[in-house]
Amino acid sequence: MTAVGGLLTAFTLTALAVVLAIVVPARQRSLASGGASLGVGVAGILTGVAAITSSPTAVVVIPVALPAGIGIDPLLLSPTPLGGVFCVVVGGVGAVAALYGMGYAHGPAASRTGWSAFAVFLLGMLLVASAGDVVSFLLGWETMAIASTVLLLADHAARPAVRSAAVWYAVMTHLSFLSLATGFALLASRAHSTTFTTIAAAHVTGPTGIAAFLALLLGFATKAGLVPLHVWLPRAHPEAPSHVSAVMSAAMVKLGVYGIIVLTSTWLPEVSRWFSLLVLALGVLSGAYGILQASITSDLKRLLAYSTTENVGLAVTAVGVGMLLANADQGPVADVALVAALLLVVSHAAFKTVLFLGAGTILQATGERDLDRLGGLIRTHPVTTWTFGIAAMGAAALPVTSGFAAEWTLLQALVHGDGRANTTLALALPVTLGLMALTIGLGLLTFVKAFGTAFLARPRSEAAASPAPEFTARPSSAARGLAQVIGAAAVIGLGLAVGPVATTFSSVLGYSGTVTSELGGLRLVTIGVLDPYALALVGLGLALPVALLVLVIRRRVPRRQTDVAWGCGGVRTSPRMEYTATSYAEPLVRVFGEALRPTRSLEVSHLEEDHVLENRVAFAQEVTDIVEDRWYAPAASWLRVVGDQARRVQNGSIHRYLGFSFAALVLVLVVTLS
Amino acid sequence: MAAMLWLPVLVPTVLGALVAWRHSDAYARYVPLVAALAILGIGIALVAKGQVVTSSVLRADAAASYVLLCVGAVAVVALWGGLSNPPLGGRGDALICAFLAAMSLAVLSDNLGVMWVAVEATTIATAFLVGHAGTRGATEAAWKYVVLGSVGVAIAFLGIVLVYASSRTGGSPTLSWVALVSGTVPLSPHLARVGVALAVLGFATKAGLAPMHSWLPDAHSQAPAPVSGLMSGVLLSVAMYAILRIQAVAAAHIGVGLVHGLLLTFGLLSLAVAAFLTLTQKDYKRLLAYSSIEHMGVIALGVGSGTTLGLVAALLHMLGHGVVKAAMFVLAGRVLAITGSSRIAQVKGLLARRPDLGWPFVAGTAALLGFPPFVTFFTEVAVLIALAESGLWWAVGGAAALLLITFIGIARQVLSMTAGAPEPQPDAPDHPLVHDTPSLRATAPAAIAMTAGAVVSFLSLVFVPVLGAAAAALGVSR
Amino acid sequence: MTATLLVLWQMVVATAFTPLLVGVMRQVRARLEGRVGPGVLQPYRDVRKLLAKEPLRAEGSSLLLIAAPLVLLTSSLMVVALVPLVTTATVPAVPNDLFVVVSILLIGTVALALLGLDAGTAFGGMGSSRHMMIAALVEPTVLMSVYALSVPVGSSTLSKIVVARGADVSRVVTPAGLLAVVALVVVVLAETGRLPVDNPSTHLELTMIHESMILESAGRDLAWLEVGSWLRLTALLGLVVNLALPWGLASDGAPIGLLVAVAALVAKVLVAGALVAAAEVFMAKVRLFKVPELLAGSFVLAFLAVTASYLAG
Amino acid sequence: MNASLTSGFVTTAVGILLLTAVLQTWRRSAAGSVRLLVVQGLALAALVAALGASRGDVELLAVAGIIALVKAGVLPWALGRTATGRIVERDNAVRPAVGLLGATVLTMFAYAVSDPLRGGDQSAAARAIPAGVALVLIGFWILLTRHSAVGQLVGFVVLDNGIAMVAFLTSDGLPLTVELGATLDVLLVVVILRALTTRMRNTHGGTSVDDLTELRD
């Protein structure tokens, strides 16, 4: 099954999915079209695997009405090994989400447009990952954009917030498209071709190269959701149906990282040497800011969206560290950093999918997204609890999960970069390590909060108290559970099989020898070894005697009484007294006060007859995204003002319009006749 | 075969006369559509034939037959869609037929003078169509349309006169495009320069390029839906086609630096006008009109970039944009019919209330915003690459920024109309001319137009040779 | 194979010795406060009592009440096994890499925090939230200080660092080394819930952090939690002590070496424990929102250690 | 017709044309403007006739006849009813001084700019080309300054006369078909504008162009 075969199957299955979505009646539509989308995902995986294992000679040419050769080369799809990795990521996430969607999609998400857009969305991402030239890359990019915008608009009738989120998303995505188009146009003009291989061979430098680099970086950073340009992410992902936001968070955002990796390593390597600190700063800032916002929000899907910004930030940090070390020509360690970037990408894809699918099940069961109103779901939703728990461990980078292996590799690269050689490294590496450690710590807190308040203790609202059952009679709910289990298995699997996965990535990136695998474990050549199997064995080895000890003691003291929890002596422990997500994050809001700028309002209303006695005290605190308040809100209002001013130009007087024409005539006469 | 050339001009005129005479009977409404189908048929035949066909004044080379095809296609979409709008009456249908005849003559004429007369005739034919509604707004729009349009085209006439005068130095002055382009007729450089510049300036007014664009929003928003669809879709492109003819003459004699300079400035100005005036636009028909200005700006930039790629992209953009814009105006007409007001604020939850109108409207907007699979995506990317190719990096940056602002404006307005829950909206005004109920027959034209807009971008077998020949015919140097 | 046996030996010794360390610390503190004190072996008696007592379950809490203590205990046992206390030898495939050790510690912290949340009381939630905040703020300092120590050695494996520091005395007294050790001391105090960050012996609801999480546990659950926490105290204290005075650790299976290593460990850790206990008598608990400043200070120390080790070479 | 006589005729005709155009910017009443238009039409016809006579080109003479018929006959008839009709429309235009000043400035600009158009030919016709350009600019200026519908119409006709003048001066007039087409188009535009004026009176109750400002953003 060559890459070309995979891509062609993907095309045909997408067409089939669209046809099924339109033709099949509503009841079976999710199963039929979802199955076809699942097929597209699997085709993506096969394409990726084929691209990784063998360098494809054959290409898929997309017929386009514009004649080739006069400035635009023929559109061809020939995934590079690196593209293949992202095809696998997209395919895998797409397949799992489609499987989940078959049981989950309801209402507008399961409409004709919902399912056809989902299949086209997967195809668009595959196109981007396997594009061989500028126009097909942009074609994939925009197909992905339009399909995801349509999917985002699924619940537009239900909630007004969906529309504003869709507008923000569409505008930011178009900003990314236009900056990419500009960057690529400049690049193609210097390389005199739009095919990536020729562009890479042209080694473009000079001012056009720098302008192209910055435009392309802006485009990819916007899609990746790096900090100054992340504003659309926490708005769009919560509003989309859960299986769609899973694909958006786990796969679509990664294509921004793919762009940054390809941009810095193959398209403009010389120019990007100057900007390695910029890329590093973008990554570190996104990591820290993303997880800080995630740790204090109480909306589950918004928390997961911000954690996507954090994980993408970590991946871009890894790329930045790789570039920095390569500049200081510490080759092997730089290779490790880039391998870490790919590991971070793949691991985040795995656990973020499961987290969003879990959030989807919670939303469907209780209709609640706000963690402050959830709780006690461990009793009614065992499968979701286990899968969400494993994925949360992955997100918090605890041992034997994919997150741990990825972050371990990046930390090794950071620690083993020799800073004695030049001062920039001596300062940049420790600062990066410090901020990254803080990010990991806050990530821990965020996911303990998310898992703890959502699943443990007693339900904090009626909706959470009587959730819909996890598995109904219909087979589709089994599909949902199966998707979550597969995702969780992937998180653990990637954690355990980190050796073979890392060696594939190092071969994909073209490094040899720096990363080798030993019976599943990972040996970084000059650094050290991580063997998750051995770690797990040691852990089990110690757990067994403890378990035996417990069994022995249990026989002697069997009874376990259930009693009321401690309530300072009284029986006053109602679920409302439990700690909620907001209160859990209260210490952080205080500690990081100046970074978050919480808005607090305190109204004290006194009694009429006596100004001392207070009648009522109302306290409200709200933490908003300061990047949005400081930059985007003024920009939006500025645009509105400019719009109103500009419309005054067309004030209806025919004399003004004739004046325009007259001025143009006079100007032309002066220009041509003088 | 040569006689066939006269059909696109004669058939509409004869049918127009017939309708004007017996406008009472029932199927008078279908006559303009028949004329449009005739033009489309002949356009396809000419394009398929691939050779240059001439007969006395008319000449159809590759470019002319392609543009005729565009005229036919857009006319069919607009008029077939227009059937579901309130009827225009005998006089209106006759005028539309005259309009189609004038456009065909303008496209096919080899003589620049005759081309000018035909373009002026389009203004005359559409004057009363714009003012058809008879309301205060329609009269005002018609007045401005005629005055500004005629003044602009008069300047173009001055340009053509000077070009004719410049050809006198070679003994036998001529206005025949073939002679002028073949280089056998030497042109005195000064006169030719002024003539070409003024002609481009004049036709730019008819093409709706800024700063001579002010008539377009009023005319296209007040005219009945099929008429504004026709004007926005293809009349602007015919004017741009005239500019391409003039540019070919300039390329043969005095070089295209001046023409491209003008087109680039007009193009960027049009993008700027469209960008800033759609940001907080209150009326959705005017929004579509400004989007036409934006797309003509993109076409001007494509031609102004001076590369073959730019020209090919511009030609393809004419077809892609024309077909979609005509369908959009037809839809806007029907939305106006059911909501009674053309204010954006009055239209809420179109997707939920009338999905048969909402989804084509959203699809059309996606096409206008340059999303794949519509052809506007490929052409806009090609124009950006063409501009970068000829080193105009500032134009690339400027165009990208302005396209973004236009996107913000249009996306926000259209989503405010289509998305969201449908409040209990008082249904159509108490006396709807045509009670608009969702019917396949009414939705078919827009749906077919959108699919055509998408399919065209992938028909490489058909369009690559046609566009290549058209670009060669227009004789772009690089 | 010997390495595994050494590690097992180290774990057994440490587990046996831990209650003694806690007993000594409490006894020193009692004596300094003028109290007789329950005697050095009291912790052993406490554990035996708890194992016999009847476990309770809070209404509405889940299986976590049983699982979390076991996870904490297992992770503490692993940390004790990995950290170079008695021997610098490690299990072949599992080097005691800094990040691996820290993550295993974090598993224990997460288990404890989830236990606090599971009970569904305000105290558990409050303790868990504060505990996680401190763990999050401590993380940078831990990584940074050991990073400072690993720069001269070129590897982040703790045994290699201890061996390298032991071999070359000058490296112990370099400014980078000293700064890093001081930062690590603050970290240990914060991580194990000692004064000035958290008062181990208090039961005042608003001030306790560690105690409030295990409020709902009783019987054998409480026993596992207590032993788990004590083991973490031994492991971290032993690590700091071995980094500060990296001598006396057995690197191979020689029996005499082992005995000397055990003696050295017991001596060093008991002295350090006593010092900590003595210091606690004279310190008051720092207000919760002053703790971040304390940790920020230690982070700056660690950062200076890193730059010092880089620039001073 | 010998050279001196034709150049005499041409210069006088051009003089009249320029004079009538400038006067248009000054006279405000609609009736006065129409009368000036008639004079201008006849002067243009005379100019073409003179050129035709000097070159002995019968076709040109025929064209002159047509121009006389259209410009002096049909046009005023079309405009007549509104101008001399019931209401004499005072044009609330900009002060006459500004109109005159503008016209003079534009004439000077035209003369300064259009040297290259002459192309070194020193004949009377060639020397008159700048006047043609001036007429075009003044026509535009009238459009800019007059605020009544008829005023705008007058401006448009003056503009067209200017273009026709440039056409005949720079070459012996365009091929007959194009010439006829152009004149017919101009005539039709005037008829349409006239119809729109009457409709404007019904809808806007007056033919002042300043009422036409409802369609704005």
- Residue A336 maps to a domain: no
| pLDDT on residue D216 | 82
Q: What per-residue string of b and e applies to A130-146 under the rule 16 or more CB within 10 Å gives b?
A: bbbbbbbbbbbbbbbbb
Q: Is A167 helix (H, G, I), strand (E, B) or coil?
A: helix
Alpha-carbon distances, residue A651 vs B298, D92, D214 (angstroms): 25, 20, 8
Which of A511, A542, A558 is a domain's end point? Answer: A558
Residue (of B26, B477, B9, B29) closest to B253 by Cα position: B477
| pLDDT on residue A439 | 94
**pLDDT interval class at A121 (50, 70, 90):** very high
Alpha-carbon distances, residue A486 vs A99, A142, A178, A346, C219 (angstroms): 10, 30, 37, 15, 38
- Residue A431 maps to a domain: yes
Mean pLDDT to the nearest integer, D82-107? 70
The yes-or-no verdict on residue A140 having pLDDT over 90 is yes
**pLDDT interval class at D120 (50, 70, 90):** low
**pLDDT interval class at B436 (50, 70, 90):** low
Helices (H), A497-632: 498-508, 532-556, 581-591, 593-596, 626-627
Q: pLDDT tens digits, residue range C194-226?
A: 888 888 887 777 778 888 888 888 888 999 999
**D217 vs B162: CB contact, 8 Å cut-off?**
no
pLDDT higher at C253 or C40: C40
**D215 vs B218: CB contact, 8 Å cut-off?**
yes
C288: which chain A residues are within 8 Å (Cβ-Cβ)?
A: 587
Compute the distance between CA of residue D38 and CA of residue B114 in angstroms, rounded to an integer: 28
The closest CB to that of B150, out of D156, D170, D199, belongs to: D156
**B312 vs A62: CB contact, 8 Å cut-off?**
no
- Residue A640 maps to a domain: yes
Alpha-carbon distances, residue D62 vs D59, D73, D126, D158, D179 (angstroms): 5, 16, 22, 22, 11
Q: Which residue has the tokens 């046992």?
A: C77
Q: Which residue has the tokens 């007409």?
A: B333
Mean pLDDT to the nearest integer, B281-308? 94
| pLDDT on residue A67 | 85
Helix axes B136-166, B236-253, angle to 10 degrees: 20
| pLDDT on residue C63 | 87
**Cβ contact B182:B171 at 8 Å:** no
Domain count, chain A: 2
Nearest Cα of chain B lies from the Cα of A189 at a distance, in angstroms, of 5
The yes-or-no verdict on residue B215 having pLDDT over 70 is yes
Compute the distance between CA of residue B10 and CA of residue A674 in angstroms, rounded to an integer: 45
- Residue A255 maps to a domain: no
Most C CBs within 10 A among A498, A579, A594, hence the mutation to make, goes to: A579
A588: which chain C residues are within 8 Å (Cβ-Cβ)?
A: 133
| pLDDT on residue A229 | 92
The closest CB to that of B114, out of D181, D203, D209, belongs to: D181
Compute the distance between CA of residue A127 and CA of residue A117 in angstroms, rounded to an integer: 15
C137: which chain A residues are within 8 Å (Cβ-Cβ)?
A: 438, 441, 591
Q: What is the dihedral of CA C227, C232, C234, C236, to 10 degrees?
A: -170
**pLDDT interval class at C135 (50, 70, 90):** very high
Task: Identify whether residues A547 and A640 lie together within a single domain.
Answer: no
Chain D touched by B286 (CB under 8 Å): yes
Q: pLDDT tens digits, residue range A166-192?
A: 999 999 999 999 999 999 999 999 999
Average pLDDT, chain A: 89
Chain D touched by B123 (CB under 8 Å): yes
Which of A525, A541, A558 is a domain's end point? Answer: A558
| pLDDT on residue B3 | 80
Sign of CA dihedral A179, A183, A184, A188: positive
The yes-or-no verdict on residue B433 having pLDDT over 60 is no
Q: pLDDT tens digits, residue range B59-112?
A: 888 999 999 999 999 999 999 998 888 888 888 899 999 999 999 999 999 999
Residue (of A258, A247, A375, A344) closest to A304 by Cα position: A247
Task: Identify whether residues A460 and A350 lie together within a single domain.
Answer: yes
Task: Identify whether residues A497 and A372 lie together within a single domain.
Answer: yes
| pLDDT on residue B425 | 53
Q: pLDDT tens digits, residue range A429-480?
A: 999 999 999 999 999 999 999 999 999 988 888 888 888 888 887 777 888 8
Task: Identify whether residues A353 and A470 lie together within a single domain.
Answer: yes
**Which tokens is B203 given?**
């036709």
Compute the distance between CA of residue C74 and CA of residue C110 in angstroms, rounded to an integer: 13
Compute the distance between CA of residue A57 and CA of residue A78 in angstroms, rounded to an integer: 8
Q: Which residue has the tokens 């006829």?
A: D180
| pLDDT on residue D91 | 59
Count of beta carbons in the 10 Å neighbourhood of residue C240: 21
- Residue A398 maps to a domain: yes
| pLDDT on residue D84 | 46
Taking every pair of C-alpha atoms in chain A, what is the biggest distance, in angstroms? 111
**pLDDT interval class at B434 (50, 70, 90):** very low
The yes-or-no verdict on residue B262 having pLDDT over 60 is yes
How big is the CA angle at A293 (ends A292 and A296), to the nearest 5 degrees? Answer: 90
Touch between chain C and chain B: 3 or more Cβ pairs under 8 Å:
no
**D138 phi, psi to nearest 5 deg:** -65, -40
**Cβ contact A634:A642 at 8 Å:** no
**pLDDT interval class at B424 (50, 70, 90):** low
**In whole angstroms, how large is the CA radius of gyration of chain D?**
18
Q: Is B53 helix (H, G, I), strand (E, B) or coil?
A: strand
Q: A257: buried, middle or exposed (CB in 10 Å: 19+, 13-18, 0-12)?
A: buried
Q: pLDDT tens digits, residue range A280-326?
A: 999 999 999 999 999 999 999 999 999 999 999 999 999 999 999 99
The yes-or-no verdict on residue A258 having pLDDT over 50 is yes
Alpha-carbon distances, residue D200 vs C77, D94, D203, D205 (angstroms): 96, 22, 5, 7
**Which tokens is B51 given?**
């050779």
pTM here?
Answer: 0.93
As beta bridge partners, residue A524 has A515, A528
A562: which chain C residues are within 8 Å (Cβ-Cβ)?
A: 56-59
Compute the distance between CA of residue A357 and CA of residue A304 in angstroms, rounded to an integer: 11
**Which tokens is B172 given?**
């036998």
Nearest-Cα residue of chain B relative to residue A181: B381
The yes-or-no verdict on residue B457 having pLDDT over 50 is yes
| pLDDT on residue A178 | 96
E-state strands within B1-107: 53-55, 58-60
| pLDDT on residue B324 | 95
Count of beta carbons in the 10 Å neighbourhood of residue C94: 25
Most B CBs within 10 A among A135, A648, A665, A670, hence the mutation to make, goes to: A665
Task: Identify whether residues A363 and A483 lie together within a single domain.
Answer: yes
ipTM of the complex model: 0.92
**Cβ contact A196:A59 at 8 Å:** no
C77: which chain A residues are within 8 Å (Cβ-Cβ)?
A: 542, 546
pLDDT higher at D93 or A152: A152
Task: Identify whether residues A664 and A527 lie together within a single domain.
Answer: no
**A653 vs D143: CB contact, 8 Å cut-off?**
no
Task: Identify whether residues A415 and A544 lie together within a single domain.
Answer: yes
Compute the distance between CA of residue B47 and CA of residue B40 in angstroms, rounded to an integer: 10
**Which D residues, 103 through 142, put their C-beta within 8 Å of a C-beta on chain B?**
116-117, 119, 136, 140
Alpha-carbon distances, residue A528 vs A406, A413, A515, C243, D79 (angstroms): 14, 10, 10, 21, 98
Compute the distance between CA of residue A332 and CA of residue A261 in angstroms, rounded to an integer: 17
Q: pLDDT tens digits, residue range B33-42?
A: 999 999 999 9
| pLDDT on residue B39 | 93
Q: Is B145 helix (H, G, I), strand (E, B) or coil?
A: helix
The yes-or-no verdict on residue B332 having pLDDT over 80 is yes
Nearest Cα of chain A lies from the Cα of C164 at a distance, in angstroms, of 16
Residue (of A313, A307, A314) closest to A355 by Cα position: A307
- Residue A541 maps to a domain: yes
- Residue A400 maps to a domain: yes
- Cα B345 to chain centroid distance, Å, stands at 28
Q: pLDDT tens digits, residue range C149-190?
A: 888 888 888 988 998 888 888 878 888 889 999 999 999 999
Mean pLDDT to the nearest integer, B401-418? 94
**A655 vs D144: CB contact, 8 Å cut-off?**
yes
Q: pLDDT tens digits, residue range A538-565?
A: 888 889 999 998 888 888 876 677 777 7
For residue A442, give its domain range. 345-558
Residues present in chain D in total: 217
| pLDDT on residue D86 | 47
The yes-or-no verdict on residue C251 having pLDDT over 50 is yes
Q: Which residue has the tokens 């940790």?
A: C295
**Cβ contact A390:A491 at 8 Å:** yes
- Residue A474 maps to a domain: yes
| pLDDT on residue A393 | 94
Average pLDDT, chain B: 89
Which of A536, A558, A580 is a domain's end point? Answer: A558
Sign of CA dihedral A547, A548, A549, A554: positive
Residues present in chain A in total: 674
Chain B touched by A182 (CB under 8 Å): yes
**Which B residues, 133 through 172, put their C-beta within 8 Å of a C-beta on chain D?**
134-137, 139-144, 146-147, 150-151, 154, 157-158, 161-162, 164-165, 168-169
From first CA to last CA, the distance across chain B in angstroms is 33
Mean pLDDT to the nearest integer, B285-294? 95
Compute the distance between CA of residue B452 and CA of residue B375 in angstroms, rounded to an integer: 9
Q: pLDDT tens digits, residue range C218-237?
A: 888 999 999 999 999 999 99
* pLDDT cut 70: percent of chain A above it: 98
Q: pLDDT tens digits, residue range A354-408?
A: 999 999 999 999 988 899 999 889 988 999 999 999 999 999 999 889 999 999 9
In chain C, domain spans: 2-312
**pLDDT interval class at C313 (50, 70, 90):** low
